[in-house]
Structure 1
Amino acid sequence: MKRMGLLLTLTLTVGIALGVIGTQALNAQQEPMKRTVLLKTDLAGIEGKEGVLALVEFAPGAATQSHYHPGEEIAYLLEGAVSLEVQGKSPITFKPGDTFHQPPKQVHRVKNLSSTMPAKALAFTIAEKDQPLTVPVK
């Protein structure tokens, strides 16, 4: 009977340890930002431009690298709290329900202010057709 209890305890301990290691590995591999394009369409009356609607998700505690958008971007924060750090300006904090506008080629980065919860935004971009939505800056 003691042997069965010891075996059960050992199995449970190993299982918990593997679960913790697996969770840490998954979190370490998570990208700071994920952009899911919901709609990409030509815009009537605006030759050569397209509109893109995307769901942007920021991993807990993550910060994007400095980047810019070639087109106009308008965003609505759905969940979480983020800090928008525009190059040469003081950071601005946004919470759910806040909106913001990024003019073309304005270098910035975004940081999720929570270390445990993701942040989510809905972003609408108007840009030249077939251009990347973001351009990294070194």
Structure 2
Amino acid sequence: MKTSLAVASATVALAVLFPFAAAEAQQAKPQSWPGIKRTDLQRHDLSAPGREVIQVHVDFAPGAAVPAHSHPGEEIVYAIEGAMEYQVEGQSPVTLKSGDVLFIPAGAIHSVKNAGSGNAAELATYIVEKGKPLLVGK
């Protein structure tokens, strides 16, 4: 009974959140980024007015890349596995490996690609303006 209730609750939550996630995904056009899989983990309002935190798990297949873009707030990256090369505008490229972190300032244009021969993954945490698209193309 508890399992059925948990599955039903999760299904309802996904049904409620899916249209928002689909609209956001369409704006960001991740379907045009082969080999990238983004899994939304959580989204919460913050105590700072007009701000929210969004946390996602991103998988990068070998050779996968996300082109230049920015966010309406800060991004904090934690590398989970593999190697990812980040290019933040005005800075030298940096390669993150498992356990490495990167802070990307609000509005900074940046790109990322899988720099290894295997899969790569990251935990990305965004502290952004509520109601704005998460990703803005260059």
Q: TM-score under structure 1 normalisation?
A: 0.71
Contact 2:33/2:65 (CA < 8 Å) preserved in 1?
no
Offset of residue 32 of structure 1:
3.9
Q: Residue 39 of structure 1 is aligned with which of 28, 38, 42?
A: 42
Question: Whole-Å Cα distance in 1 between the matches of residues 120 and 134 of structure 2?
Answer: 19
Name stretches of at least 5 consecutive residues in structure 1 with no aligned partner: 1-28
Contact 1:32/1:64 (CA < 8 Å) preserved in 2?
no
Question: Whole-Å Cα distance in 2 between the matches of residues 125 and 88 of structure 1?
Answer: 21
Q: Deviations over 1:6-50 (max 9, x none)?
A: xxxxxxxxxxxxxxxxxxxxxxx972422211101111x211111
Distance change (3 Å), C-alpha of 1:32 and 1:68: farther
Counterpart for residue 112 of structure 1: 114
Aligned length: 107
DSSP-derived class of the 1:52 partner: strand
Q: Residue 96 of structure 1 is aligned with which of 98, 110, 121?
A: 98
Name stretches of at least 5 consecutive residues in structure 2 with no aligned partner: 1-31
Contact 2:33/2:66 (CA < 8 Å) preserved in 1?
no
Within 5 A, what are the aligned runs for 1:1-138? 31-43=34-46, 45-115=47-117, 117-137=118-138
DSSP-derived class of the 1:65 partner: strand
Question: Whole-Å Cα distance in 2 between the matches of residues 82 and 72 of structure 1?
Answer: 19
Contact 1:69/1:104 (CA < 8 Å) preserved in 2?
yes
CA RMSD of aligned residues (A): 1.6
Q: TM-score under structure 2 normalisation?
A: 0.71
Question: Whole-Å Cα distance in 2 between the matches of residues 35 and 133 of structure 1?
Answer: 13
Give the fraction of aligned pairs with identical amino acids, expressed as a percent. Answer: 46
Q: 4+ residue runs of structure 1 moved beyond 4 angstroms?
A: none
Rg: which structure is higher? 1
